[in-house]
Structure 1
Amino acid sequence: MSWKEKIYLGVVFSVAGLSGWATGSTKPNILFILADDQCYEALGCVNGEVQTPNLDRLAEGGAMFNHAYNMGGWDGALCAASRAMFNTGRSMWHNFKLDRAVRSKAWLNPPPEVDTGSTWSQWLSAAGYHTYFAGKWHTILHEAEDVFDETGTLRPGMPNQTKERYERNWEPGCSDWNPWDKSKGGFWQGGQHWSEVLRDEATAYLRKAPQRSKPFFAYIAFNAPHDPKQAPKEYIDRYPLESIRVPENFLPEYPYAREIQSRDIRGERLAPFPRTEYSIKVNRQEYYALITHMDDQIGVILEELDKTGMRDNTYIIFTADHGLACGHHGMMAKQNMYEHSLCAPLIVSGPGIPKGKRFDERIYIQDIVPTTLDIADIPIPEQVEFQSFLPLLKGEEYHEREAIYTAYKDVQRSVIAGDFKLIYYADIPLYRLFNLKNDPYEMNDLANHPEYAGKVEELRKVLLREMERYADEQLTEQRHYRKKPKPNTMPKKM
């Protein structure tokens, strides 16, 4: 019996009698667009600096989540963990086996209890959807060709990197790196920008959609705006350096960079140490240009959807696999526990979705998986650990999680409950405490204030509870968590 037959037997009978937003032949189409490394604030409708008119219109015509988190990763490639969670619906620690002998490669070993033949796309395919994938795959649990009905060009985790990008001259006006130089490869490898290739493939797929008898699930995965952040010159020119703002929580260098194993991450070498305001502006200029270029390609894809006449019965979901620091807190990359790196944009548009609605409830981006199954009236498989936010979209009763739990390797953990975030650095060891409501830029560490000792202890217990919930054994079994954390001797202001 094939995987389709096995999954079909598990869903077809229960689908028939369900009530919801779509049943029978009226099942909605689902267009899922995933960016790579786009911070939640990197939208024009959020920060007013980056130009994203197409995504802004999508948000105006739909709902947007202000606090959508990725759970983290086992090594520097956070996108691999994020995409594995999207494809299996399982949480981070239930997707892979912890192998202490090859700690940095733990994500190469899925545990036997993970059913690697059962994925998001397969559940939709078994329920009658035609499934399509093109773009960045980067999850070794499955091959895209094995779990989608049709695939376009499959891209690796990141475009090739070049020596010139990492060794560029950071003296103002002396750069020997140009993002529009096609000879350097990267996003230009093959002659056409990767975002434009994906645009062409996505529009070609949508153009044929009306000819099919099935609804579609199209998973369109951009590599943008991941470095090397290359875009045509006209997009760079839209962002004069004098117009770029340096983040309010800019630092020349993060004080615990080495202890949290971020100092030597490849992405942190995209700006000099110590950081300069000029280097941050240049990085943000190139980041914004690549995002605007991607936004234009998304605009063409949405125009094609309109031409098919199928938009009124299509749910469009846009997000990214996580955020990116790009100058916040003296960091450039995403291997940290701050909002700029944990949070991604999340926009949902479609039939019945409230227009212009902004949700402050904290969710995981992978909650998209059970939400789409709910929308399509497909029973949610037992292996799915994430939570549908369809009740929120429908204005019905919704039970928000008590806590959001995030992790990086065996050195960083955080938990968010209520207005507070507790960060734990295992190799120091050290706690940091921030009030996200009063201090959204996470600049005022409260962990060493006597009046917050009770809050630290309260969240420490929540942290331990969430470790157990998600079977996170890296700290509970190692020496790290048995150490007594040091008092935080850093200044109150960062």
Structure 2
Amino acid sequence: MNWPKPTYTLLISTLVFLGCKNTPKDSADTTLEKPNIIFLFTDDQSYRDLHALGNLEVRTPAMDQLVEEGTTFTHAYNMGGWNGAICVASRAMIISGRSVWRAQEVSKSFAQNKEFDKTWPQLLKTVGYETYMTGKWHISAPADSIFDHVARSLRGMPFDTPEGYNRPLSVNDTLWQPWDTDRGGYWQGGKHWSELVRDDALGFIDTAANAPEPFFMYIAFNAPHDPRQSPREYVESYDVEDIALPESFLPKYPYAEAMGAGPNLRDEKLAPFPRTEYAIKKNRQEYYAITTHLDDQIAMILSKLKEKGLDKNTYIFFTADHGLSVGEHGLLGKQNMYDHSVRVPLMVVGPNIPKGKKVENDVYLQDIMATTLQLAGVEKPNYVEFNSLLPQINQDTEGLAEVYGCYEKGSQRMIRKDGWKLIVYPRAAKLRLYDLTNDPNELSDVSEHPDQQEKVKTLFTDLVKLQQKMGDTLQLDSNTYPQTKEMKTL
């Protein structure tokens, strides 16, 4: 079918339930049409940046609605990345179905115009889906080589605002304000990028409601990535004095340079060194404000689905490409192995998905791809390394036995298993061990505690095996680490 170009006009009207061709038939009729699939993707959003998941400071009613109306995976992870732009690796993994190091190789193939046919949208096209994309892309393949319709392909991050770094230096530092539209960033072009993506999505839904084909929408917001800009009313709705400091607040992380997240890393330059309480509160205030602004755009998309009667036969998947520190452990960015940076919200809403259910299993956010393939009736290819979440939703099966994490070729490695996390900093020959059951905020490193030496040894061995499985070429030698030397004498 020759689909008309979407019009990007924001339509706000009273919700009226309308029938349409994509609405599922009565349950007595077994000839259900293929469901529509919507993927809502945010950038730099930690699982802690959601009201319904425990952060009572931030307001996210639309995201909370997804938690209420569907199933939430409370422990969804990204593996990490091969450079500071963690989103590049995360997005390459979800579009290709490969784990981090193999996704890096696929990215090189994309740059050579290869393997486009093996991507997520192209697999859905084999069973009749119209595929659509708008928003942040940041993948080496051109978006229009993979999707049928591309409204806009935005750059990896909004245009930089130099005045937005190393701030605020004090309460009186007001040179840069999130609502200043002349600072560029999200305001480049005159309209906030989150609102542009929203308009695109609304226009496509209008068009799709009258088309016979099922659709796959990839809606990727840049928010809440920095520069954390939003309209003034959003920022001022959060009183900086009411923002709590993270429990893990530190003026400086002791291994920042060794782990590749030192003062020269772009993300870490956003706030002054050493970190001050006021600077972190201000950064968190602006983080919450841009999140709430984003939430309002998502609310309009969800309303449009109901207005067009598409919600009854549409699966919605919501997640982020990775989390963010925003002052936790003395860090600002996502280039670390702590849960605030590798763990994200993940919600699934749709026909026969239990409402209000929470699954606490460890999963990868990239499992969403395999889940949609199962829903669409596509046989999962052998090269797709991630797994459908449907068995965990419907049959309460178990999740991952272990979670792998990495940053750069030799900066950090991590394994999360059986309620414990072992982090390795090869450049500093340092291990960090956390008892996640009793210390969920990862405040106390117990790697040198005499009672935990066997645990260190076991997890280190498991991590080396997991590296081999992931195609990780970094050689970790137990003789390098003081704790492992101690173990041999116990």
The TM-score, its normalising length taken from structure 2, stands at: 0.90
Structure 2 counterpart of 1:405: 404
Q: d(CA) in 1 for partners of 2:177 and 2:359?
A: 39
Q: d(CA) in 1 for partners of 2:290 and 2:108?
A: 31
1:361 partner SS: strand
Structure 2 counterpart of 1:213: 212
In structure 1, runs of 5+ residues without a counterpart are: 1-21, 98-105, 489-494
1:41: how far off? 1.0
Q: RMSD across aligned C-alpha pairs, in angstroms? A: 2.0
Structure 2 counterpart of 1:49: 57
1:393: how far off? 1.4
| Percentage of pairs with the same residue | 46
Is 1:193 the counterpart of 2:192? The answer is: yes
Change beyond 3 A, Cα 1:200–1:110:
closer
Give deviations 1:229-287, integer Å, cap 9, x for gaps. 10000000110011101000100000001111101210101111110110000000000
Change beyond 3 A, Cα 1:221–1:84:
same
Structure 1 counterpart of 2:377: 377
Structure 1 counterpart of 2:85: 77
Structure 2 counterpart of 1:173: 172
Contact 1:96 1:110 in 2 (8 A): no
Contact 1:96 1:111 in 2 (8 A): no
Give deviations 1:91-118, integer Å, cap 9, x for gaps. 1111224xxxxxxxx9656799x83431
In structure 2, what residue type is equivalent to 1:87? I
Q: d(CA) in 1 for partners of 2:80 and 2:111?
A: 18
Structure 1 counterpart of 2:37: 30
1:157 partner SS: coil
In structure 2, what residue type is equivalent to 1:210? A
Alignment of 1:4-43 (within 5 A): 26-43=33-50
Is 1:415 the counterpart of 2:415? The answer is: yes
1:213 partner SS: coil
Q: d(CA) in 2 for partners of 1:469 and 1:273?
A: 39
In structure 1, what residue type is equivalent to 2:281? K
In structure 2, runs of 5+ residues without a counterpart are: 1-28, 485-490
Is 1:386 the counterpart of 2:393? The answer is: no
Q: d(CA) in 2 for partners of 1:183 and 1:241?
A: 23
1:59 partner SS: helix
1:486: how far off? 2.9
Change beyond 3 A, Cα 1:442–1:246:
same
Q: d(CA) in 2 for partners of 1:253 and 1:86?
A: 33
Is 1:149 the counterpart of 2:148? The answer is: yes
Alignment of 1:236-255 (within 5 A): 236-255=235-254
Q: d(CA) in 1 for partners of 2:267 and 2:133?
A: 27
1:330 partner SS: coil
In structure 2, what residue type is equivalent to 1:485? Y
In structure 2, what residue type is equivalent to 1:135? G
Structure 2 counterpart of 1:340: 340
Contact 1:39 1:343 in 2 (8 A): yes
Contact 1:198 1:222 in 2 (8 A): yes
In structure 1, what residue type is equivalent to 2:56? G
Change beyond 3 A, Cα 1:423–1:311:
same
Contact 1:319 1:344 in 2 (8 A): yes
1:427 partner SS: helix
Q: d(CA) in 2 for partners of 1:174 and 1:125?
A: 52
1:253 partner SS: coil
1:55: how far off? 0.7
Equivalenced residue count is 454
In structure 1, what residue type is equivalent to 2:197? L
Is 1:326 the counterpart of 2:334? The answer is: no
In structure 1, what residue type is equivalent to 2:366? Q
Contact 1:23 1:376 in 2 (8 A): no
Structure 2 counterpart of 1:3: none
Q: Which runs of 4+ in 1 moved over 4 A?
A: 22-25, 106-112
